[in-house]
Structures are given as C-alpha cells and as structure tokens.
Structure 1
Amino acid sequence: MNARQTALARKQLERRLAPLRELDLMTPPRGWMKAIREALGMSTRQLAARMGAAPSRISAIEKAEVSGATTIKTLREAAAAMNCTFVYAFVPAKPLDLILRERAAEKAGQDMARLDHTMQLENQALLRSDLEEERRRLVDAMLADSPRRLWEDD
C-alpha cells in the first residue's frame, strides 16, 4: 500500500472509530455475558443448553470473562446463544493522525536532542527558534514517509 492509500485507509478507519471513542462503555462488574444473561431472565442451565455445554461451563466462562481469561470464540458463541452480536474492537484513545503526529514529534525530539548536544559540543549550538523550525520540518518529513518507520526504536 502506498502512502496515499495508507492515509485514505486510516481516514476511513478513523471515521468508523470516532463514534466509538465517544461512547462511555463501562463493563458491568460481573461481565457482559452474565449481565445480558440475567437481563434476559436466562438461567445458566438454559444458556448451557443453547450453547451445547454443561451448566458448570457457563459459570466458568462468566468468571473467565471478568478475569480476561476467556477466548473471543467462546464469547462469540455465548453471544450468539443469547441472540446478541459480539463486538470486538481496538478503539484508539485519540484520532489516529494525532497518534502518528505525536509519535513523529517524539522521534523528532529525540533526533533534535542528539543533534543539539553534538552541536553544543562543537560550540556550534543553534538558536532555539532554529531547533524548533528543524523539529517541525522533521515531523512533517516523518509523516510524509512510511508510518512504519515511526515505530522503529533507534
């Protein structure tokens, strides 16, 4: 994928993710599975029958969901048995372009710190305004290049 296609894909993904970022979803203390099952008035035995599992398995799945030890496949099966759609997503805390810009600024800051240190050792220190202008130029150059390079640790 070229840079233009990547930017377009990121923009389309951001359009789909933005509404999710606005949601204030708090997981029920005893997990989604148990909350939905109880709201439907379904017993563990009834859900077990719908899933083709032993009733003790339902309690184990519900506990595993709360502890984070269950699988997506299991949660998807439980959701289907309760006539629900299982939703799984990574929702960035900030817009994707902002995450990239912040990462580029971080890397540019590291590069500029090394450059400034070297220049000072050689008694050729740059003015703060020149350093800031170069930092902005570096950020723009990094963002114009492949985003993969932003995540390399130097």
Structure 2
Amino acid sequence: MRNKKKLLIEQLDQKLGNFKDAAMVLVPQKGWVNTIRTTLNMTRDQLGTKLELTKGAIQKIEEREATGQITINKLKDVGNALDMKFVYGFIPKDGTIEKLVDLKAEKLARKIVLRTNQNMKLEDQGIGDEKIAKTIKELAIEIKREMKKSLWD
C-alpha cells in the first residue's frame, strides 16, 4: 500500500510539473473571457451567437467570471465557442505534492513529539534537543510512509 501511495504522489507531481509556468500567469482584472474576446476584437453579440446566448448573457458571463461566480462547465462552453481549450487544476504553492506531504508530516511529528516531551518534562524525564530533533525526523518519516488521514487535520 505504501508503494502505491508513493507512486501516485510521484505521478501527480509529474503531471503537475507541466503547469509550473502556469503559476506565474495572473488572471486579468476583467477575467479571461472579456480579455480574450476583446483582444480578438469579437463583440458580445458575436460570442453570444456562437453560444446561442444574448449580448446581455455574455456580459453576465464576463461579470461572473471576474467575480469568481461562474461554473466550470460555463467556462468550458465559452472555451469551445472561442476555439480554445479550457484548463483547470491545482498547483502546490511550494513546489510538489511530495514536498507538501513532507511539510505536513514534519509539522504533525513536531507537534506529537513536543507534546510528549512536555509531559515527560513534568515527570522530570524530558529529552535533549538533539534527541527531540532525531525523534521528530523519524516520526515524520513514519507518518509520511503510513499517509494517515490525520496528516490533514
């Protein structure tokens, strides 16, 4: 099971690697539909004809996209009408899915080890900083290997 999760993470990271440059693309203030339509010198009437919608409906689509209130299906429809491919996905903020899992596992391990060490200190059985760091590292590896759902709490 462990190898299957690791393989899935590696495959997903590989797929998402194709979108690294996309993270640098900023959504235009008026949204993509308006920006592409106006750049192509296409009127709302013309786009409306392709989508079998009114000029006013196209205006609403542009407004909804700009405010984040549009559906993915509607954006797909507009993309098809513009002879373009609609692309949708998520990109990890800090590199890869594997790095995200590493960070979450380390954070959870640190929380567990420090809480346990605090209890041990109360009983005058605390461990030193070096041992704490080693224990955190080992526990993080175990947490990552098991990929428990608690990693996301």
Coarse TM-score class (shorter-chain normalised): over 0.9
Q: Give distance in 2, aligned partners of 1:5 and 1:128.
A: 35
Identity %: 25
- Superimposed CA distance per residue, residues 87-136 of structure 1 (whole angstroms, 9 cap, x where no aligned partner): 11111112111100100111011101111111110011111111111111
Deviates more, 1:106-115 or 1:18-27: 18-27
What stretches of structure 2 of length at least 5 have no aligned partner?
none
When normalised by structure 1's length, the TM-score is 0.93
Q: Give distance in 2, aligned partners of 1:54 and 1:22.
A: 35
Flag the 1:82–1:22 CA change in 2: closer, same or farther, 3 A: closer
Partner of 1:55: 55
What is the Cα deviation at residue 146 of structure 1?
2.4
Q: Give distance in 1, aligned partners of 2:62 and 2:130.
A: 58
- Superimposed CA distance per residue, residues 35-61 of structure 1 (whole angstroms, 9 cap, x where no aligned partner): 111122210001001001111000000
What is the Cα deviation at residue 8 of structure 1?
1.1
The reply to whether residue 118 of structure 1 matches residue 119 of structure 2 is yes
Give 4+ residue runs of structure 1 displaced > 3 Å after superposition.
Answer: none
Partner of 1:14: 13
What stretches of structure 1 of length at least 5 have no aligned partner?
none
What is the Cα deviation at residue 150 of structure 1?
1.1
Partner of 1:32: 32
